[in-house]
A and B are shown apart, each in its own frame.
Chain A
């Protein structure tokens, strides 16, 4: 049973060189000279096109975004719009630097609530999902609660939670958790139930315990789904924290970015309002990018979503 590394079945994907030459020979059936040039320049042209494509992918959004900001700056300066109506981007950056002491403390507060809520959402969401897959009766009994929590707008429940819970950070945490936990729960439940049924049979055949099936089969199978849920939940936890801060409207040392926005609004300090807004957006983007990267790193070896294919 000796097999060379390339099984007769082949099919490990066509090699790029083959794909290119077969493609161009199909196109150039006219003269051999023409064919030769096509074959020769084909790969170079294609590589050049790919390079251009990659560059444009970065350059284009950057150029558009920069010109939008410059246009904004120009509009404010030419029209002499007062800064309490629309501050120029330069003034927003200036404010960001000038008020960094206040804003950074608020940013840390918001981040703490966001990540604490996300951590509890991951633990709760995955834990509950595992429980759901162990017993359908648990799932049938408790799933409605999860749905009710999910469909009720957080802004509507936040005031109630703030009344019932004395500690404001805890109340904020609960609000952010309610928003973040559902995508993790529903995605992980779906993932745990998506393990290949033949693999389940195989585990059954070898007398695997529930715990072994969960650990070696269901959790790995659920990983792509869980990571998808985590990407959504990261952004939602931030939104939940901000919304809850708005509802709480609490001042003091532990005030988050949302409170800075409210406060700036009352004082007509619009540049600071924009600065706080910018921080929230950047935080949201960073959270998304971080989890996208995490997802890619964890799945790149095996999952379809993270594998680059050449056609």
Chain B
């Protein structure tokens, strides 16, 4: 496979890889680094890619795994210093104050979701994949995906309903 062919294959979904990476890693720079590394990995495996029918799904799975690994090693590093358990109750309030407007506030709410739910909301509500594709990417069954998605959507709604009363705009 030539580089030009590879770039043509990767072009249509490189933004999706980046957005999923950013959903999980939060920081733009880290997401860019991750995207670069994932694209390089794909390029190194380009012989294999020719065998995969759905390169895009394969790449999204790779992105998910790559970012979760990153988070795990980061967490292992931070565990000694930060006691996360204490602040749980206050983070949402603190973040709410930091949020510039209600749209920004949604992104903060998303940060507090469990990783699994973050990924599913990202793939469904933002990237608009159908459930069969998401099931393949995450190696989960569709029912489990719907359960997680429903939980995530309800959490977002509840937090938005609460704050709506306080008039964040």
**Do A and B interact?**
no
Chain A residues engaging chain B, CB cutoff 8 angstroms? none
Chain B residues engaging chain A, CB cutoff 8 angstroms? none
